[in-house]
Structure 1
Amino acid sequence: MPMNPTLRAAFGDELRAAVEAEARAELPRAWRHLERAHVLSQAFVWPHIVVHWRMLGYGWRRRDVKEMAGQVARVLGAGPASWLGRAPVGNTGGANVGIFTPMPIPDDLRAILDAEG
């Protein structure tokens, strides 16, 4: 099932905001937007993989070996986890959190996801 237009727009907004923040060297903000995009993408195979690729790229540009290693594992597992409905709800997707750890969803993202169904 594809993302509805509202969710797709919110997902795209988070990815664009991440790129823009990184270009301004606002690295914590860029990462936060990637995490938010991850939360929005978890139920959808391709968007979920895309976010992990972006996180891998972020780690690469920072030369963060821990993040790169964590993202390689996540890139490989994101598609099957989404397809099987096994992605942990709310997980922010970084190597600093467990792959299978559910996390609280921010209220604004919860409203978007609830509208998705």
Structure 2
Amino acid sequence: MLISFVRRHTAAFFASLCSVASFSFQCVCATITLSTTTMGHDNVGAYVRSDVRSADVPLIFQNRASWMDVFELIAYLYTSLREQETILEQIMKESSGLIPVDDQDRGLCVLAGT
């Protein structure tokens, strides 16, 4: 998904493109893990994947306090998605030329140099 997004917005700042995150959930038994993937700013062409939150879904009534971890994971995702909206608006403005971008700072030029 990141590659497709970057290809459509190569005129934006490379640093802005590195701020775009792709979110994924992994469910194993009763454990949910939220991960993010971004482009590496220091290592051009590389991806940075990190597990940001994990929660155990309670399966019995006695473990009901574990729901707080699940809700915290959802709240973190919601907040992160709101931040991504502002980043995407910034990238759209950069790509369309509303915000001037130097040629050497464009995503296309930085990625072509790898």
Same fold? TM cut 0.5: no
Q: Return the structure number with greater relative CO, CA threshold 8 A, min gap 6.
A: 2
TM-score, structure 2 normalization:
0.30
TM-score, structure 1 normalization:
0.30
Highest CA radius of gyration, 1 or 2? 2
Identify, as 1 or 2, the structure richer in strand. Answer: 2
